[in-house]
Amino acid sequence: MEYFTSHFHNLLQCCDPLTRCDTDLVSILHKYIDTTSPDELQILMAQPCPGRYITQDVIAKYLKNQNFPYEPLFDLVEQHFSRLRQIPKYYTVFTEKGLMDLLENRSLADLPPEYVPPLEKEDINNMLRQLMDDIRSGNLTGLITRPMQLQLPDYLSIYVNSKTGIHIYSTNSFIFGAYCCNIHITEESLCHTFYDFIQSLPGSPMVYSTEDCLRLLEQRIKENEKKEPLH
């Protein structure tokens, strides 16, 4: 028994842990950057991912926290979002409920509210209209799930990349908040299976057609534009 205990203890020392509990924003941003390939990215999250439309001006407008030196944090956040802006093969898979939550609450589910407050309604609408333009032109793939066919938990954001693996982060809907638990999977066969599944979604019965996705986005944005601003 002592032999096996020692043997497995030594094995554990050589293994990269599957689950990391980390609430440090700087280290998490570094992880986002390190695991994001410049070529492609698939994101499954209840909210649509507007990361491609978060510019330097948006970061400067909303990034607020007195506990971090502003310039280094700003530069790191900009590095993260600039990479998302440049990825040519980009999938964002989301739910209608997540879209409604984004429009109503104006809070980005995968950014801690202590650093990023709710965005102004106009900024949210502009991001979603840019998303519509990119879907319409084919610059990215935007998919809304059919709720009875494919359900996405609102407490996770899942990044899938054929080169760096599967990366799962908690969002603000998780009981302990965004980024408190990160899971990174690099097992090759599992990553290929997950990647192939996402690639098979366009045109499948699990998601709405591109036309219906655009129609639903347009409808929800127009409804939101008519609402009185939150106070």
Structural domain that includes position 28? 16-226
Look up the pTM and report it: 0.85
Mean pLDDT of the chain: 86
pLDDT confidence of residue 72: 78
- In this predicted structure, the answer to whether residue 136 has a pLDDT above a threshold of 70 is yes
pLDDT confidence of residue 4: 54
Q: Is residue 4 part of a domain?
A: no
Tell me the mean pLDDT in the region 144-173: 90
Q: Is residue 83 part of a domain?
A: yes
**Dihedral angle, C-alpha 133, 46, 213, 199, nearest 10 °:** 90
Radius of gyration of the chain from Cα atoms?
Answer: 19
What is the Cα–Cα distance from 117 to 181, expressed in whole angstroms? Answer: 21
pLDDT confidence of residue 11: 61
Strands (E), the chain: 19-20, 40-45, 89-94, 141-144, 156-161, 165-170, 182-185
Q: Is residue 88 part of a domain?
A: yes
Burial class (CB in 10 A: 0-12, 13-18, 19+), 127: buried
- 13: confidence class by pLDDT, cuts 50, 70, 90: low
Question: Which CATH number covers residue 96?
Answer: 3.30.870
Interval 171-221: pLDDT, tens: 989 888 877 778 888 888 888 899 999 999 999 999 999 999 999 999 999
- In this predicted structure, the answer to whether residue 24 has a pLDDT above a threshold of 90 is no
pLDDT confidence of residue 230: 55
Number of domains in the chain: 1
Q: Is residue 7 part of a domain?
A: no
Q: Which residues of 93-118 are buried (b: 16+ CB within 10 A; e: fewer)?
A: bbbbebbebbbeebbbbbbbeebbee
pLDDT confidence of residue 18: 53
Could you give the residue ranges of the DSSP H alpha helices within 15-163?
25-35, 56-62, 70-86, 96-105, 121-137
Q: Is residue 183 part of a domain?
A: yes
Residue 167 has, within 13 A of its CA and on its CB side, a CA count of 20
What is the Cα–Cα distance from 66 to 114, expressed in whole angstroms? Answer: 10
> What's the farthest any 2 CA atoms get from each other in the chain?
70
Q: Is residue 137 part of a domain?
A: yes
Tell me the three state secondary structure of residue 101.
helix
Interval 61-80: pLDDT, tens: 988 776 777 777 788 888 88
Tell me the mean pLDDT in the region 114-119: 87
The percent of residues above 90 in pLDDT, for the chain, comes to 45
pLDDT confidence of residue 215: 97
Q: Is residue 10 part of a domain?
A: no
Q: Is residue 1 part of a domain?
A: no
Tell me the mean pLDDT in the region 11-35: 67
Tell me the mean pLDDT in the region 157-183: 85
